[in-house]
């Protein structure tokens, strides 16, 4: 089902993704982060739905459908680097911090910091070109809200 998108993501010089594919790639990255601690809790799924609804002005049902599609894509996807590259190519730099904030919202959805989620978030932020300091500031903003 996702073979074409995965093929394009793995191309040596991928074309920028369509808006639909970029949304799906971001959603799959959120799912991958939530699953990274082997506890994909209902609160994390709810938070992903909320993040997607707010970020893309989706109805609750549309956000849930996007998350469910992303769950299937994430299960088939070979690695995080390809998702990150697709997002980096599709999202202007000034908006990438919003991607990191979305990831922190999911990571903190269960009320605790998990070493696996922290490690994945550090990797993804770095691959997106976001400094540790900017990622920490994003985490602090999310924690305050």
Whether 26 contacts 98, CB under 8 Å: no
133, part of any domain: yes
Predicted confidence band of residue 48 (pLDDT cuts 50, 70, 90): very high
In a domain, 127, yes or no: yes
Q: Is 9 inside a domain boundary?
A: no
- For residues 44 and 15, give the distance between their C-alpha atoms in angstroms, rounded to a whole number: 31
Any domain includes 4: no
Per-residue pLDDT, averaged over 79-84, amounts to: 79
pLDDT confidence of residue 5: 74
Indicate whether 56 belongs to any domain. Answer: yes
CATH code of 131's domain: 1.10.3680.10
In a domain, 12, yes or no: no
Q: What is the per-residue pLDDT for 10?
A: 66
Burial grade of 139 (CB within 10 A; 0-12, 13-18, 19 or more): buried
Residue 34 maps to a domain: yes
- Choose among 61, 60, 55: nearest CA to 29: 55
Q: Tell me what pLDDT residue 45 has.
A: 95
Question: What separation in angstroms does the CA of 16 have from each of 44, 70, 116?
Answer: 28, 19, 29
Note down the domain range covering 125: 18-144
- For the chain, give the longest Cα–Cα distance: 40
Quote the pTM value.
0.83
Inside any domain, residue 81: yes
**What local confidence, expressed as pLDDT, does residue 144 receive?**
86
User: Is pLDDT at 1 greater than 70 in this prediction?
Assistant: no
Given a contact cutoff of 8 angstroms between Cβ atoms, the answer to whether 23 and 102 are in contact is no
Domain count, the chain: 1
């Amino acid at each position: 089902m996702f073979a074409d998108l995965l093929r394009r993501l793995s191309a040596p010089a991928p074309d920028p993704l369509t808006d639909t594919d970029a949304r799906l790639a971001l959603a799959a990255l959120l799912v991958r982060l939530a699953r990274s601690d082997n506890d994909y809790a209902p609160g994390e799924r709810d938070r992903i739905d909320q993040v997607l609804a707010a970020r893309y002005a989706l109805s609750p049902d549309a956000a849930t459908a996007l998350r469910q599609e992303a769950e299937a894509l994430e299960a088939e996807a070979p690695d995080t680097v390809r998702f990150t590259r697709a997002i980096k190519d599709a999202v202007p730099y000034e908006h990438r911090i919003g991607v990191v904030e979305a990831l922190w919202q999911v990571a903190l959805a269960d009320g605790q910091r998990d070493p696996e989620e922290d490690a994945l978030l550090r990797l993804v932020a770095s691959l997106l070109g976001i400094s540790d300091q900017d990622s920490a500031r994003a985490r602090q903003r999310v924690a305050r809200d």
